[in-house]
Structure 1
Amino acid sequence: MRSNLHRSTLVRQLEGCLPTGAAAPGDVARQDVAERLGQWLNVADAISLSSAHATIAAAGRQAARVSGQPATAAATLQAELERVRAVLSQSISTRDAKHKPDPDDLDTEFALCLQRYQDQQRRLEMSVDALRGHVRQTLAQGSPRLAQLAALDAVLDDMLGGREQRLLNNVPALLKARFTALRQAAAASDTPRDLHWLQGFNTELEQTLLAELDHRLQPVVGMIEAVDS
């Protein structure tokens, strides 16, 4: 079974951070889907997933028994999604206008960039997790089909969320490699003290965060789309 899905924006963005000749994330993504998923799940996970089938079925039966529940409002959820996306996107794109990089202390400059990225990562995680939980709770009060979807998302989040976060925690290392490559190229140029490359790096950092935001929001988008399907 081969994946025909297009590479995500985040994968494409990170490919630009890799050293020349390094294996691209997209190369891994084109491997057999079942094989890759098997590397994420161990025997205990498989047992948990099997047991979760009963939980998901029970969620559907419970939703069917509950009467008088309001219909799930896709428009309301979509508006909340767009609000969260806009707030986080604005936060990512906001820079300190007073900061002036020191060309003689670029190690400190990268440390500041790294701190900025990690602060934004934590904000993305907290905000999107809260939104995802809210959407699940809303779907759980809807039809049996939506309640089962909410239960399935909760199971997959518990099972795969930790591994996903560990992988996302590796992004700063790729950014460091990109920073180092740009710094070395600038040092070898005729204008080694010209820091235009640093502006470009900060733009790439923001683009990577925006791509990570899109990645984190995918389960939320999928659940909201399911409401009207």
Structure 2
Amino acid sequence: MRPVFHHAPPTALVRQLARWLPPGADAPRQDVAERLGQWLNVKETIALHTAQASVAAAGAAAARRARPVDGADLHTTLQAELQRVRSVLSQSILARDPGHQPDPNDLDTEFAFFHQRLNDQQRRMELSVDALRGHVRQRLAQSTPQHAQLAVLDEQMEQLFGGREQRLLTGLPAFLKARYQALRRAAAAASTHDSPPDLAWLRGFESDFEQALLAELDLRLQPVTGLIESLET
């Protein structure tokens, strides 16, 4: 099994964050294989190479089973589970506290409220998506030899890249804080003595905040989505 890397289109999260960059700023563009290569040290590269034996063994074990699980039925089942998890997490992200009233005289505390909300949602996403991904791999291992190999390969890739992905996602609060401060400054600059600043900008930030979290959810679900879509081929 030889993975083919190419210039992948940016994810929704990357596009969202790129729109918040100052004028003239641009994110570096790199080939996917080039970027992944920077994430692997010598020890991890050897581990990835030796993982081929585990992949081959998984395929051989699946081939010895007399009756593999039907791929079409499995696809339907797992697709429904994916949509359920996506729906539950999306609803949680968009849920707002109807009793919360921002204090215009303490807007620093207001961002702390968003930061806590972000931490809570990221924990929910991590727990739910990790559980779903493990479940999908278990079900794929019961299907064809090719899908059993894919399940083992995905597990190896998660071990190699999962930690780095989590560390990158911990940088999201810094982007959100910069966006919060930029909107706050713009609102203050546009206000006059006759028209004090209102909190319309804060409502706009809350929408940006939710869209960024929905984009993060889409990013986290991409490996699971790919595993399930493999059952269509």
In the alignment, the residues of structure 2 paired with residue 122 and residue 112 of structure 1 have an alpha-carbon distance, to the nearest angstrom, of: 16
Out of 6, 28, 38, the residue aligned to residue 9 of structure 2 is 6
1:18 maps to what in 2? 21
Q: CA deviation at 1:32?
A: 3.1
In the alignment, the residues of structure 2 paired with residue 2 and residue 61 of structure 1 have an alpha-carbon distance, to the nearest angstrom, of: 26
Q: What CA RMSD, in Å, does the superposition of the two structures yield over aligned residues? A: 1.6
2:211 maps to what in 1? 207
2:158 maps to what in 1? 157
2:57 maps to what in 1? 58
Secondary structure of 1:23 counterpart: coil
Structure 2, gaps ≥5 residues long: none
Secondary structure of 2:190 counterpart: coil
In the alignment, the residues of structure 1 paired with residue 43 and residue 80 of structure 2 have an alpha-carbon distance, to the nearest angstrom, of: 38
Deviation per CA, 1:166-214, whole angstroms, max 9, x where unpaired?
Answer: 0011011000000011111111112443001000101001000100111
Deviation per CA, 1:82-108, whole angstroms, max 9, x where unpaired?
Answer: 000000000000100111101100000
**Pairing of 1:132-171 with structure 2 (within 5 A):** 132-171=133-172
2:69 maps to what in 1? 70
TM-score norm. by structure 2 comes to 0.92
Equivalent AA in structure 2 for residue 75 of structure 1: T
**Pairing of 1:121-136 with structure 2 (within 5 A):** 121-136=122-137
In the alignment, the residues of structure 1 paired with residue 31 and residue 129 of structure 2 have an alpha-carbon distance, to the nearest angstrom, of: 29
1:33 maps to what in 2? 32
CA contact (8 A) 1:186 1:192 kept: no
1:93 aligns with 2:94: yes
CA contact (8 A) 2:69 2:144 kept: no
In the alignment, the residues of structure 2 paired with residue 194 and residue 7 of structure 1 have an alpha-carbon distance, to the nearest angstrom, of: 35
In the alignment, the residues of structure 1 paired with residue 7 and residue 32 of structure 2 have an alpha-carbon distance, to the nearest angstrom, of: 10
Deviation per CA, 1:113-140, whole angstroms, max 9, x where unpaired?
Answer: 1110111011111100000000000000
After the TM superposition, list the runs of 4 or more consecutive aligned residues in structure 1 that deviate by more than 4 angstroms.
none
- Report sequence identity in percent: 60
In the alignment, the residues of structure 1 paired with residue 109 and residue 196 of structure 2 have an alpha-carbon distance, to the nearest angstrom, of: 17
Structure 1, gaps ≥5 residues long: none
In the alignment, the residues of structure 2 paired with residue 87 and residue 143 of structure 1 have an alpha-carbon distance, to the nearest angstrom, of: 30
CA contact (8 A) 1:18 1:177 kept: no
* Cα distance change, pair 192–53 in 1 and its aligned pair in 2 (3 A): farther
* Count of residue correspondences: 225
TM-score norm. by structure 1 comes to 0.94
Q: CA deviation at 1:66?
A: 2.0
CA contact (8 A) 1:56 1:152 kept: yes
CA contact (8 A) 2:13 2:212 kept: yes
